[in-house]
Chains A and B, each alone.
Chain A
Amino acid sequence: MPYARIADIAGHLPPAVLDNEHLAALYPGWSADKIFEKTGIRTRHVAADDETAGDLACAAARALFARGTVSAGDVDFIILCTQAPDYILPTTACLLQDRLGIATGAGALDVNLGCSGFVYCLSLAKGLVESGSAKCVLVLTADTYSKYIHPLDKSVRTLFGDAAAATAVVACEAERAPIGPFVFGTDGSGARNLIVETGAARMPRSGETAIEHTDDSGNVRSRDNLYMAGASIMSFSLNAVPRAAAALLDKAHTDKDAIDYFVLHQANRFMLEALRKKLKVSDAQCPIHVEDCGNTVSSTIPLTLAAMREQGCFDTQKKLMLIGFGVGYSWAACLIDV
């Protein structure tokens, strides 16, 4: 059976931009510089009203095909990771098969995950390829958290951006698996700390759920909006991420020194610096890629990998640790050779 490797990655950011100047005008006491200082973010891209995560995924896939490494005709499986499907049903990946002109013999499914999604989807793609079930998996990550966020909730509006990424995972011959091993983690007791409460089966939207409240920090939101308990997420991340890294190194029978880069889910610069310190790795080993796009949920890791490629980081062989963590709580880590 062949191994699976990442053949190529392309990203797509919607054209509309939300910058710190605009946000500073909404939030008294917060200048554009202060927002950048606290988050490391200057701009986020925002999908238009009629632009869905599926649309962003489609654009990312087209950008990938335009690079010439894989074509629509090569793809025999589509995985779309999103928490903003076009419809409750049918599956958005099915719609993308049609839009992208991918063969009807291809498989397609949606995965409902956020920040941990890319690493999980890599594990699924690897499983499909290395079991001989697929040869070219199109892993799409796409989200539009901006549509869930209240305009006056600075706690999340400053952080999240919309984006998509397309990654081709293909069969290859190699001496050892370029992707893997993986460690996973799930803690549903943290569910309410990063949540959009309404609009699905548990709680439909109503006049009541739309009522806005202002919290102690002056953020406005309703139960229909995204809510994030920042402190809880920070505590969770400071615990889960180093543990996952250690467990993965153990599983791979290797150590920190063998890893060239630790590519973490790009939550915000502050979180990344705290984690970098805990992992005891250098600035150079722990890229931060939030300034222009913010936290793009499941796309942060592939977008960072694409940026690193453009900077020449992968001109020679490198070993990377990828760690996705967040909403769920859910986390996953893996090693990849690029």
Chain B
Amino acid sequence: MTKFYEGMAEIFEVEPSAITPAFELTAATTADWDSLAIVSTIALVDDCFNVTLDGEGLAACKTVGDIEALVARAGKE
């Protein structure tokens, strides 16, 4: 989980400690949940969990927890 949270911290340009399941994806001040962040997250999730998420599913996520739930579901398929 740490590698994933560290990666998310980099994408959102915040401290790693700021990333929790409750972290809101559209709340960051310097970057937002835009196409670049989504693309970066697809690569990060693939690297950390060997799961390839799709852009639409990710765009609907509101929090880091939502992403983790998506990963858990995808991992079961």
Instruction: Report which A residues bind B (CB closer than 8 A).
Output: 38, 155, 216-217, 219, 229-232, 234-235, 238-239, 270-271, 274, 277-278
In the complex, are the beta carbons of A217 and B35 less than 8 A apart?
yes
Q: Is B35 in contact with A238, judged by CB distance below 8 angstroms?
A: no
Known: A219-B35, A274-B43. 19 other contacts (CB 8 A): A216-B34, A217-B34, A217-B35, A217-B36, A230-B38, A231-B35, A231-B54, A231-B59, A232-B55, A234-B42, A234-B43, A234-B55, A235-B42, A235-B55, A238-B46, A270-B39, A270-B40, A274-B46, A278-B46
A264 shortest CB reach to chain B, Å: 14
**Docked-complex contact A235 and B40, CB < 8 angstroms:** no
| Shortest distance between the CB of A155 and any CB in chain B (Å) | 6
Q: A216-B34, A277-B47 are in contact. Are A231 and B42 (CB under 8 A)?
A: yes
Residues of the B chain whose Cβ atoms lie less than 8 Å from the Cβ of A230: 35-36, 38-39, 55
Nearest chain B CB to A150 CB, angstrom units: 15
- Answer yes or no: B53 CB below 8 A from chain A CBs: yes
Closest 10 CB pairs of A and B: A231-B55, A274-B43, A217-B34, A230-B39, A234-B42, A231-B38, A234-B39, A217-B35, A235-B52, A238-B46
Q: Specify which chain B residues have a CB less than 8 angstroms from the CB of A219 in the assembled complex.
A: 35
Asked if residues B43 and A238 are in contact (CB atoms below 8 Å), the reply is yes
Given contacts A234-B39, A234-B43, contact A229 B34 (CB under 8 A): no
